Amino acid sequence: MRSNGWWTALVLGCVVWIGSAGSGAERVDPFMGDWQGTYETLDGDVSDFVAQVIALGDSRYRVNNLYAFDTREAPICVVEGELRDGRVRLISADGFWRIQGVLEGDTFSGTFRGEADGRFELHRVVRLSPTLGARPPRGAIVLFDGTGFEEWRSVGFFAGLVDLAHEIGGDHAAAYLKTRLWSMIDQPAVLEIGSDDGVKVWLNGQVVHANNAARGVTPGQDKVPVQFRTGWNDLLLKVTNGAGGWGACVRVADAQGRPLKNVHEQAADDETAVTRQSFVQNNAFLTTWSVAGPYRVEGKEGSDLLDIPLGPELKDPPTDWKTLKLPDSTDEVPWPIVDGAMQVGRGSIVTRRTFSDFRMHLEFRTPFMPTARGQGRANSGVYLQGRYEVQVLDSYGLEGADNECGGIYQVARPAVNMCAPPLQWQTYDIDFRAPRFDDEGRKTAPAILTLRHNGVTIHNSQPLPGPTGGALDGNEHEPGGIMLQDHGNPVQYRNIWIIPAPSAAP
């Protein structure tokens, strides 16, 4: 059975299990996913009927009831319910249609009342992309085949970077970092601080710096003169985040920017002991931290939180600190390979090769994060030429906005939301045409994208007016690499290959 480009692998409760590294989906929830069947009116009319069951966490579910998959038509009715004693009872009294149903095992059944009265019965289905597992044709460059990162390098990752998106995650939030430094003498020092976004700094309980910035983190953005005392010096940072990347770094230097002498970090495994090994090895970047958070205030954005006391700023706060020991910077990609798939780790990665016009195939899988919402639910992105982002997000069952899966933020929403449930492998098949420039360097045509998500065209010759947020650079006249974004969620990628195309004349 095919449905708008999808291959139906599991139908009518006949469960075919496919390994986690195979071409299917793991069942991580008893009910989440696609359901398909029929409804019958009391007059005997029978019609197709489908549903999307979305896990909301805490044993709660929302169900979109639809006439067909893969359309932009609003659901007939949305029902909600809670898992109790192995079944979910769902009911809706809103809107024209009133539906009562039960999810139990591999069956979703119930009754409806409205324009007509009757009953329905649906069974679980898994609809897989027809291009899943597509092999690279002759002439293709294999960017990832499950065995290594030879074609990739890390970006935005360096020794001393505390990647808060990776460590704790969260948009519109604040986090605290603390460490201790042992100074052998009273001495002046400079704290070279980078942050994404805002930062406030305390040394020995006194505020020494605050900058409510909106920026990406790079070393040495703020240089803060301080005075160390003999013995232990307590350093506390508050770092706020709007959306996207989130992190901070601190380097301890003298007034000339040289690593400070006569100073030691606390040891990673014993905060009463001191060490200078990591300090020397990493050019005076601090690598031993504890983190607390994320902290949020309802109705407040990240930029609002810098001057709102939270957690460790409060008197006798019940703060849970998590000890970090940052890895040393190497040329290796700091992402793990799990069952033949690369999994988002520390920092984004980009291909070593650069491309102009190309055709590309890529497969991805979003993690199961039922209690997360919006941009916090399995967020990543595929940047073409490192400049134009196609969103990756668990937006299964949502409306399909420009900041959801397959969307181009603030440029174009997908023609239809083709996002599969989490932990189901999905495909992007991309045709990309780079922007064109005349001999004087003036842009004569924007970049053009055609994108098929799970076999269905969701962008057809879509102009891309310019680099999107988070781009590596704005050099549109130059070739660029393929970047996969770290947004702090363990999204997986596999079977990535690309066919460079000869660039036509402008």
Query: Which residues make Cβ contacts (< 8 Å) with residue 478, sequence separation at least 6?
Result: 354
For residue 375, the 8-state DSSP code is G
DSSP assignment letter at 374: G
Same domain membership, residue 147 and residue 113: no
Does some domain include residue 49? yes
Question: Given this model, what pLDDT does residue 328 score?
Answer: 62
Among 302, 325, 348, the domain boundary falls at 325
- Indicate whether 315 and 395 sit together in one domain: no
Task: Tell me phi and psi for residue 288, to 5 degrees.
Answer: -115, 105
> pLDDT band for position 24 (50/70/90)?
low
* pLDDT over threshold 50, residue 14: no
Do 391 and 486 belong to one domain?
A: yes
pLDDT at residue 20 is higher than 80 = no
Instruction: Please check whether residue 136 lies inside any domain of the structure.
Output: no
Do residue 191 and residue 291 come from a single domain? yes
Q: What is the pLDDT of residue 165?
A: 85
Task: For residue 467, give the CATH number of its domain.
Answer: 2.60.120.560
Distance CA 179, CA 30 (A): 44
Same domain, 300 and 385: no
Q: Which one of 325, 360, 378 terminates a domain?
A: 325
Give pLDDT, residue 268: 73
For residues 342 and 476, the answer to whether their CB atoms sit within 8 Å is no
Q: Where residue 418 falls among pLDDT bands split at 50, 70, 90?
A: very high
pLDDT-derived band at 23, boundaries 50, 70, 90: very low
Are residue 84 and residue 220 in the same domain, yes or no? no
Nearest Cα to Cα of residue 175 among 321, 315, 377, 287: 321
Among 96, 62, 93, residue whose Cα is nearest residue 76 = 96
Q: Please state, in angstroms and rounded to a whole number, the distance separating the CA atoms of residues 299 and 365.
A: 32
Average pLDDT over residues 243-271: 87
What is the CATH number for 115?
2.40.128.120
Q: 267, 301, 325 — which closes off a domain?
A: 325
Asked whether residue 437 falls in the same domain as residue 491, the answer is: yes
Give the pLDDT band (50/70/90) at residue 2: very low
Using the predicted structure, report yes or no on whether residue 95 has a pLDDT greater than 90: no
- Please tell me the distance from the alpha carbon of residue 228 to that of residue 91, in angstroms, as a whole number: 64
pLDDT at 103 over 60: yes
Q: Which residue has the higher pLDDT, 332 or 434?
A: 434
Distance of CA 446 to the CA centre of its chain: 27
pLDDT at 326: 76
pLDDT digits (tens, 9 = 90+) for 427-457: 999 999 999 999 999 999 999 999 999 999 9
d(CA 334, CA 56): 31
| pLDDT band with cut points at 50, 70 and 90 for residue 1 | very low
Q: Per residue in 14-50, is it b (16+ CB within 10 Å) or e — as a string?
A: eeeeeebeebbbbbebbbbbbbbbebeeeeeeeeebb
CA distance 361 to 165: 27
Q: Are residues 169 and 79 in the same domain?
A: no
In a domain, 170, yes or no: yes
Same domain, 300 and 274: yes
Number of domains in the chain: 3
227 and 284, same domain (yes or no) = yes
Backbone angles phi, psi at 278, to 5 degrees: -65, -35
Q: Is residue 496 part of a domain?
A: yes
- Say whether both 47 and 196 belong to one domain: no
Q: What is the CATH number of the domain that holds 288?
A: 2.60.120
Q: Which residues contact 250 (CB under 8 A, 6 or more apart)?
A: 160, 191, 192, 193, 194, 235, 237, 285, 286
Domain-located, residue 314: yes
Q: In the predicted model, what is the mean pLDDT of residues 97-104?
A: 90
Average pLDDT, the chain: 89
Count of CB atoms situated within 10 Å of the CB of 372: 17
For residues 388 and 416, membership in a common domain is answered with yes
By residue range, what is the domain housing residue 189? 162-325
Question: Whole-angstrom Cα distance, residue 496 to residue 335?
Answer: 16
Instruction: Establish if 134 belongs to a structural domain.
Output: no
Q: Can you tell me the distance from the alpha carbon of 227 to that of 249, in angstroms, rounded to the nearest whole number?
A: 19
Residue 495 falls inside a structural domain: yes
135 found inside a domain: no
Burial class (CB in 10 A: 0-12, 13-18, 19+), 413: buried
